[in-house]
Structures are given as structure tokens and as C-alpha cells.
């Protein structure tokens, strides 16, 4: 016993030491967490009290409501825009700085070498260069607004640098933000044109296909094969441009940055006055891409959202009118096949002569490393977007890109005038300055008017229809002006009693100008129109409910045919139970149902089964329009006219059956054999990723809201597009409903919240609201409920 006691005593000593060490570690970790918590909390924006600002002429009141929406009241527009810059910086300074850096190609300066390729792409796309050119064309009033706004941003920067309360993200990355400039605001505006103004990628893909497939198989990859385009076709075959390995699909904008909007006339509403609804679909992130704000001065009273970093309100309402947008998606980016001079790669052939291109030095500074030399070469059409300088070889042909957004434009002037418009005439006049990105504006006013205009610069081409790159060495190709403003698609007070757009085709075959052949799938629009056409006595609540609608009309078109194909080849009855479940589906993409999981996984698998093994992996990822092509192949095959791809595969039944087998096998592996227990929401989960969360799971835990099951999909009105892992990261970045019967208020959701600060009560407070469809009311006139008042005092 004595020996045992001694042994226990000897063993007990190291155990006590271990416990002391663990206790000490706990104390150290706790102290570190307390320090981090205190440090982060130190930079939390002041929302009550008084702050002196030397940039102001008079005091400005900032009242944040219960949802964190700032209501700014100033005695002049000058102080109003200064205060907006200050408040934007309070709520979103890191987001603003990151946005201007990304759009300018300057991320490598703060995050290091991993951002070099991103910087090269954005410098090549020349967004900041376009912003600089645009600034020179603005009038004095708009330039002054930009200066006032920058003054407010810089006042906040100076304040937090002086008092040591600069946001923790800057400390984490080890740098301080530079002063804000008017060009920064315009560059962020150009970035949104980049995010919404694609269409060059389908041209590059079709060029690759022409050079790698038979003519018949290449033709089937066109939405509509171009007619009378022999010379364009010949140029694409004669001068192949390297596509594989040239573009990183991760850096490209989302293929369909869609949206929904609609207006309903008083003839179909309970109040007898129009209703307006809008929900732009963009990447979902922390913080939101939008900042909601209310601006009031003797000259204006307007509420809505804007991108942090830009003055004014881009979407919203004032006391007389309301408006919203969806993306038109026109062909405003054209690729040109440029022939470089073998002796000088900065010269390009044009009408049998060598023409000198502009060469911009865009040397990239890299954190903790040497600068990276980089040049952007710009032809008469636009920047070269494929590499032209090689160590061992020189390419025979490269792509340049012409794009409306690279021309000077004055969208801020449009925003300033939209904010003060009081009827359709003044609103439409303001739109003339809004060039890029082209948007479907819907409008409603308290005088009962509802209207629509597909607005923006849409080029008229000398030859071609923007489906293929065109020869860059001939003056026979190129743009010949733009669709006249008065001839852009417009509709005012239609007999049908409503107007809706959802990135669908907004013109018919009689429209004399080319817009695009590459529209979004029609299902969201068809569902919206179905509900609005069949109903009456609508209220604002009905509009909110429609924004949350999960009816799947895509399944309505194809499900029976797909089931028929599977049953034909399921000779052993292996899938009878699953197919019976699919037949019972109400075709609603509910988070709790198994059928949406099966249907959407199958629709994702179909193009993989058809195309993925037939092309390089990066080309498949880069390939645009896979959902449209899948639909096109299914439609034609079920009508008895299969494409060459489907025929070569072995027919539509074999294609669908093979894809279905792979779909079910993957679902069983992930969720077990009992299909009745599968749930769409187990796979389809809402995310709002923070830009820093990808660096560490620990950061993700603190900065991202918890993933949660969500219904809807990419083709339902409640849009929630998802990645291959099920992350629903693209959808309604803002939901908005306005009732012309009472424009003293409107209804909103800005997920995941208003603030960009992790310690703010409004950081993630609307993430659950986004899933449930719980809108919050924001007042335009009257008292702000439960307000936090901050007075910005003029020094």
C-alpha cells in the first residue's frame, strides 16, 4: 500500500503541473480573447452623442433606426453628401477600401502575391482608367458632390487614425487606408458595370468550340446560330486565339446576375394606387453589397440603397416616385480577333496597315515582395484581354474587348436627378445619363403612373450579332453608334395592369435593334406574370409574399418528360420509389422536401454528363449558358429533333438516365438510402461569406452568419442560386416593396445586416429575416422608431 501511495504521489505531481499549465493556457487564451474583444470593440462606430466635423457648414442629424438604417437630415445638399460619406465610412470603410482596391487592381499591395492574377485582370479591364476618363466629362455640380462625399469619408478616416479606432480589419492586414477621392467612387461604379455587364465569355467559348468540334457540334452550342456570317466564321477559324488557360473562372462575374422587379397599376390593387417591388440578385456577402440610407435636405427627401463608396440613392423612393431595376443583360462587350505585328507586338493590323496600340505601364506593387512589371495594351477597340508577350513564342492572334462601360459615362448625374424626380417625365429625362450597366427600370408614382424602360447604351453593329468574335483588322466591323434613347424598349400604363421583368426577353421579333440572344431562363418572369395576371386587390404584403415564392416552373416544363426517360431505361424498377415521390411533388422548392434536391442535382448533372469529359476542365468551368443549353437540348430532343450532341450520346433517354443514376448515387452516398428523408435544405444552405473568412475557419466562425437551410433556387422568384457544394451565395441582395398609397414608408430586407462591424447589433441581424421573408419598415417622413441620434456638429 505504501508503494502504491508513493506511486500515486509521484504520478500526481506531473498531473498537477499539467493542470497548472492548462490553467495558465486558459488564462492566457481568455486574456487574449478579452484583449481582442476590447480591441475590436474599440473601433465600433459611435451612433449616439456628438462628433465635431470641420468639413460641415451646419450641423447634421444622423438617426439610426431599430434596423440600423441611418436617417440623415441636413440644411443643404453639401452637408448631406458630406455626412453620407462620413456615415458610409463608419459602417463600411473596410468594404469600401477593398472594393476600390479590387476594381483598381491593387489588392496585392495589402494581401500579397496571391492576388497578382486578380490585379492583372482588373487592370486589364481598365475600370479605374474608365473612371478617370468619366470624371473629366462630369459637370461641375456632380464633381462637387463627389468632392463633398470624399470630404466626409476622409473626415472619418482622419478621426479614427488620430484616436486609434481604425477598424480591426486594417490592423489584421497591416495597413492604413489612403485618402478617398472622387475617382474611387466612380471606380466602384464601374465595378458594378463589370459585375452586371458580361457577355464576352460566350463569344470566347464559341470561338474555342469552332476550332475544336465539327461544324454541326459547334453550331449546337449557339443559342441561335448566326445567319449570313461566313466572313466572321472564316476569321474565327483562320485565326484561332488561345482560350484554354487564359481565364480564371473564379474571377469572372456570376453568369446571371439577375433580379426581379414589377409594378402593378391601381386597377389591380386594394388601395387603387400602384405597388412596386424590386429584388436585385447579386452575390450574398458580409457585409451586404448594399447600404440602406435615408437622405433629407431642403432639396430632396429620398430613401433606398447605394453601394458604399458612392453618394446618393441608386434604388428606392422619394415622396412622389419609386423605382427598381433588373439587369437587361444586353450584348455590350464584343471580342475582336486582333493580328499583332510579328516584329512589334504592340502594333496591330487594321485595313492593311500596322496601327500602334496604347501601352499603359501598370506595374503591380506586391506586399513583402518585388514589384511585378505589367503592361496593358489597348487597341482602337479596347484592351487586349489575352496575353500578347511570351518568352518563347508570339501569338498569331489575340482578343481585344470593346465595352460600353470603358467609355466615359455620367451615371452619378443620373442618380442625382432620379433622387429628385417627381413624375415619369422627369424620371425618364434623368435616365438618359445612365449608360452602363444597362438596366430594366420599373417606375411607379403617386399620380398613378406605372412605367418601364430598358435603359443604357446598347451598341449597333456594322456586322454580326455578338455571338462570335469579329475581325479586328477591318473597318467593316465594329460599332456604328447606339440604339437611339427614344427607341429603347419603353412601356407606360399598359392595359394588362402590370409590368414585370426578371432578366427575360423584353422585346419581340418586331423590335428593330439587336439587344441579345442570351436571355436568362424565363421561369421567374413566367411565375411573376402568372400571379399578377390572375390576381386583383393586391396589397404590399402580397408583393412581399411573391418575392418569397418558391414555385418551380422549370420542373413544370421538364419533370414529366425526365421521369418518362428514366422509366424507359429503369428495366429493373430500381428507381420506382424515387420516381413515385417525384410524381407526388407539388413542384415547390421547399427546404424540407426531398424532390427539389433530386431535381436540381439532376439538372446540374446533365451538362456535366454531356460536356465535361469532352473539353478541358477550365473550359467547362468557363463555359457560359450551360442551363440554357441543357434546356435547349431537352426541348428539341423531346420534340423529336435532337441536337448532334444528344444523338451522338445515344439519345435523350440515355443521357437523362445516365445523369439520373449518377445523381442518385451521389445523394445516397451523402444522405443515405432513404430518399424520403432527404431534404433540399440539408444541401441548399444560405451563406453570407465575409471577405476575410476564407483565410481561416476561426475567422469564418466569427465573421460569417451560421449556415441555415433555405428554400427557393436559381429559377424561382425567391432566388437562391447555389454552388456545387450547395452554398446558396447568390440571390436577393435587397428586397424592397413600396406602396404609392403611402410613400411615407417602404419595406426592406438587407441581408445579412446594415453594419460591417462584427460587434454591431446590425452585423447579422437580418440573416434570419432573409430566410423567413420578414421585412422591416423604413420611414421617409415622421419620427424614427427607437432611434439612436448622433449629431455631426460643424466646427
Within this chain, do residues 388 and 518 fall inside the same structural domain, yes or no?
no
Residue 276 domain-assigned (yes or no):
yes
- Given 639, 663, 678, which residue is the final one in a domain? 678
Provide the pLDDT for residue 222. Answer: 85
Residue 688 predicted with pLDDT over 90: yes
Over the stretch 424-433, which tens digit does the pLDDT of each residue have?
A: 999 999 999 9
Q: What is the pLDDT of residue 1?
A: 47
265 and 498 in contact (C-beta within 8 Å)? yes
Q: Are residues 419 and 275 in the same domain?
A: yes
pTM of this prediction?
A: 0.93
> Are residues 362 and 224 both part of a single domain?
yes
Confidence of residue 225 (pLDDT cuts 50, 70, 90): low
- pLDDT for position 33: 46
Note whether residue 764 is domain-resident: no
Tell me if 339 is assigned to some domain. yes
Residue 16 lies in a domain: yes
Going by pLDDT thresholds of 50, 70 and 90, the confidence category of residue 7 is very low
Q: What is the pLDDT of residues 232-277, one digit of tens each?
A: 888 899 999 988 888 777 777 766 667 999 999 999 999 999 999 9
Q: Which residue has the cell 442625382?
A: 416
pLDDT at 736: 98
User: pLDDT (tens digit, 9 = 90+) per residue, 723-736?
Assistant: 999 999 999 999 99
What residues have CB less than 8 Å from 774, skipping those under 6 apart? 749, 768
Helix (H) or strand (E) holding 349: strand 344-350
Q: For residue range 37-87, list pLDDT tens digits in order.
A: 667 888 999 999 999 999 999 999 999 999 999 999 999 999 999 999 999
Closest-CA residue to 326 (of 711, 729, 739, 733): 733
Share of the chain above pLDDT 70, in %: 93
Q: Are 330 and 519 in contact (CB under 8 A)?
A: no
Residue 228 Ramachandran class (φ > 0 left, ψ -120 to 50 alpha, else beta): left
Q: Provide the CB-side half-sphere exposure for 688 (13 A, CA).
A: 28
On whether residue 292 sits in a domain, the answer given is no
Q: How many CA atoms lie within 13 A of 214 on its CB side?
A: 6
Last residue in a domain, options 639, 657, 678: 678
In a domain, 747, yes or no: no
Q: Which helix (H) or strand (E) holds 631?
A: helix 626-638
In this structure, the answer to whether residues 218 and 345 fall within a common structural domain is yes
Higher pLDDT, 307 or 625: 307
**144 and 59 share a domain?**
yes
Q: How far apart are CA 527 and CA 274, in angstroms?
A: 20
The answer to whether residue 296 is domain-embedded is no
pLDDT attached to residue 524: 97
Give me the chain's average pLDDT, please: 92
Check: CB of residue 434 under 8 Å from CB of residue 414. Answer: yes
Tell me whether residue 716 is in a domain. Answer: no
pLDDT for the residue numbered 11:
44
- Give pLDDT tens digits for 191-204: 999 888 767 888 99
The Cα–Cα gap between 52 and 313 comes to 25
> Same domain for 373 and 249?
yes
Render pLDDT for 509-543 as a digit per residue (tens, 0 to 9): 899 999 998 899 999 999 999 999 999 999 999 99
Q: Which domain holds residue 16?
A: 1-42
Same domain, 375 and 230: yes
- My answer on whether 239 and 147 are in the same domain is no
CATH of the domain at 53: 1.10.439.10
Q: Are residues 87 and 11 in the same domain?
A: no
pLDDT higher than threshold 50 for residue 3:
no
The domain boundary residue, chosen from 658, 678, 698: 678
pLDDT digits over 477-518, tens only?
A: 999 999 999 999 999 999 999 999 999 999 998 999 999 988
Same structural domain for residues 71 and 128?
A: yes
Total domains in the fold of the chain: 5
DSSP letter at 496?
T
Q: Are residues 571 and 632 in the same domain?
A: yes
The CATH number given to whatever domain includes residue 378 is 2.30.120.10
Cell of 343: 516584329
Do residues 327 and 341 both lie within one domain?
no
Provide the 3-class DSSP secondary structure of residue 80: helix
All three cell numbers of 737: 416593396
Amino acid at each position: 500500500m505504501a508503494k502504491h501511495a508513493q506511486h500515486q504521489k509521484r504520478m500526481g505531481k506531473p498531473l498537477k503541473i499539467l493542470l497548472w499549465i492548462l490553467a495558465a493556457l486558459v488564462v492566457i487564451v481568455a486574456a487574449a480573447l478579452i484583449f481582442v474583444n476590447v480591441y475590436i470593440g474599440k473601433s465600433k462606430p459611435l451612433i449616439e452623442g456628438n462628433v465635431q466635423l470641420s468639413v460641415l457648414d451646419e450641423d447634421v442629424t444622423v438617426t439610426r433606426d431599430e434596423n440600423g438604417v441611418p436617417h440623415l437630415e441636413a440644411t443643404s445638399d453639401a452637408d448631406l453628401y458630406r455626412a453620407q460619406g462620413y456615415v458610409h465610412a463608419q459602417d463600411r470603410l473596410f468594404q469600401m477600401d477593398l472594393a476600390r482596391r479590387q476594381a483598381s487592381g491593387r489588392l496585392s499591395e495589402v494581401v500579397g502575391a496571391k492576388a497578382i492574377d486578380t490585379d492583372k485582370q482588373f487592370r486589364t479591364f481598365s475600370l479605374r482608367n474608365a473612371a478617370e476618363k468619366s470624371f473629366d466629362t462630369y459637370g461641375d455640380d456632380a464633381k462637387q458632390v463627389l468632392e463633398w462625399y470624399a470630404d466626409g469619408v476622409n473626415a472619418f478616416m482622419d478621426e479614427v487614425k488620430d484616436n486609434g479606432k481604425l477598424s480591426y480589419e486594417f490592423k489584421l492586414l497591416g495597413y492604413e487606408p489612403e485618402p478617398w477621392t472622387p475617382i474611387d467612387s466612380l471606380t466602384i461604379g464601374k465595378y458594378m458595370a463589370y459585375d452586371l455587364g458580361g457577355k464576352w465569355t460566350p463569344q470566347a467559348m464559341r470561338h474555342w468550340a469552332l476550332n475544336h468540334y465539327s461544324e454541326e457540334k459547334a453550331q449546337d452550342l449557339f443559342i441561335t446560330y448566326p445567319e449570313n456570317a461566313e466572313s466572321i466564321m472564316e476569321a474565327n477559324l483562320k485565326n484561332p486565339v488561345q482560350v484554354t488557360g487564359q481565364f480564371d473562372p473564379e474571377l469572372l462575374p456570376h453568369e446571371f446576375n439577375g433580379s426581379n422587379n414589377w409594378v402593378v397599376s391601381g386597377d389591380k390593387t386594394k388601395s387603387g394606387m400602384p405597388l412596386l417591388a424590386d429584388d436585385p440578385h447579386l452575390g450574398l456577402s458580409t457585409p451586404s453589397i448594399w447600404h440602406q440610407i435615408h437622405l433629407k435636405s431642403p432639396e430632396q427627401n429620398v430613401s433606398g440603397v447605394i453601394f458604399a463608396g458612392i453618394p446618393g440613392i441608386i434604388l428606392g423612393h422619394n415622396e412622389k416616385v419609386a423605382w427598381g431595376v433588373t439587369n437587361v443583360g444586353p450584348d455590350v462587350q464584343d471580342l475582336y480577333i486582333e493580328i499583332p505585328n510579328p516584329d512589334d507586338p504592340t502594333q496591330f493590323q487594321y485595313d492593311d496597315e500596322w496601327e500602334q496600340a496604347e501601352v499603359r505601364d501598370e506595374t503591380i506593387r506586391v506586399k513583402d515582395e518585388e514589384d511585378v512589371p505589367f503592361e496593358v495594351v489597348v487597341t482602337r477597340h479596347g484592351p487586349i484581354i489575352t496575353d500578347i508577350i511570351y518568352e518563347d513564342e508570339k501569338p498569331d492572334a489575340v482578343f481585344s474587348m470593346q465595352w460600353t462601360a470603358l467609355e466615359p459615362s455620367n451615371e452619378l448625374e443620373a442618380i442625382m436627378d432620379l433622387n429628385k424626380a417627381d413624375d415619369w417625365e422627369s424620371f425618364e429625362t434623368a435616365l438618359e445619363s445612365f449608360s452602363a450597366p444597362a438596366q430594366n427600370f420599373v417606375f411607379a408614382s403617386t399620380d398613378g403612373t406605372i412605367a418601364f424602360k430598358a435603359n443604357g447604351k446598347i451598341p449597333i453593329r456594322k456586322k454580326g450579332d455578338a455571338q462570335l468574335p469579329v475581325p479586328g483588322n477591318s473597318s467593316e466591323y465594329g460599332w456604328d453608334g447606339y440604339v437611339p434613347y427614344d427607341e429603347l424598349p419603353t412601356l407606360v400604363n399598359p392595359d394588362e395592369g402590370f409590368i414585370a421583368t426578371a432578366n427575360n426577353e423584353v422585346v419581340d421579333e418586331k423590335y428593330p435593334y439587336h439587344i441579345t440572344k442570351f436571355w436568362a431562363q424565363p421561369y421567374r418572369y413566367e411565375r411573376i406574370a402568372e400571379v399578377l395576371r390572375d390576381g386583383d386587390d393586391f396589397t404590399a404584403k402580397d408583393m412581399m409574399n411573391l418575392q418569397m415564392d418558391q414555385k418551380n416552373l422549370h420542373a413544370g416544363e421538364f419533370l414529366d418528360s425526365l421521369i418518362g426517360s428514366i422509366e424507359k431505361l429503369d428495366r429493373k424498377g430500381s428507381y420506382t420509389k424515387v420516381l413515385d415521390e417525384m410524381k407526388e411533388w407539388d413542384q415547390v422548392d421547399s427546404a424540407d422536401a426531398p424532390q427539389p434536391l433530386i431535381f436540381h442535382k439532376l439538372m446540374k448533372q446533365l451538362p456535366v454528363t454531356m460536356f465535361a469529359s469532352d473539353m478541358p476542365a477550365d473550359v467547362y468551368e468557363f463555359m457560359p449558358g450551360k442551363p440554357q443549353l441543357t434546356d435547349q437540348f431537352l426541348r428539341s430532343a423531346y420534340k423529336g429533333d435532337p441536337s448532334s450532341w444528344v444523338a451522338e450520346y445515344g439519345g435523350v433517354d440515355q443521357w437523362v438516365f445516365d445523369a439520373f443514376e449518377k445523381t442518385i448515387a451521389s445523394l445516397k452516398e451523402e444522405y443515405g438510402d432513404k430518399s424520403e428523408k432527404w431534404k433540399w435544405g440539408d444541401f441548399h444552405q444560405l451563406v453570407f461569406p465575409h471577405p476575410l473568412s476564407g483565410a481561416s475557419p476561426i475567422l469564418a466562425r466569427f465573421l460569417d452568419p451560421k449556415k441555415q437551410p433555405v428554400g427557393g433556387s436559381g429559377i424561382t422568384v425567391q432566388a437562391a442560386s447555389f454552388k456545387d457544394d450547395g452554398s446558396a451565395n447568390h440571390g436577393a441582395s435587397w428586397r424592397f416593396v413600396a406602396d404609392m398609397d403611402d410613400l411615407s414608408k417602404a419595406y426592406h430586407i438587407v441581408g445579412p445586416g446594415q453594419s460591417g462591424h462584427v460587434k454591431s447589433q446590425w452585423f447579422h441581424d437580418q440573416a434570419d429575416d432573409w430566410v423567413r421573408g420578414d421585412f422591416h419598415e423604413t420611414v421617409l417622413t415622421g419620427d424614427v422608431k427607437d432611434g439612436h441620434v448622433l449629431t455631426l456638429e460643424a466646427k
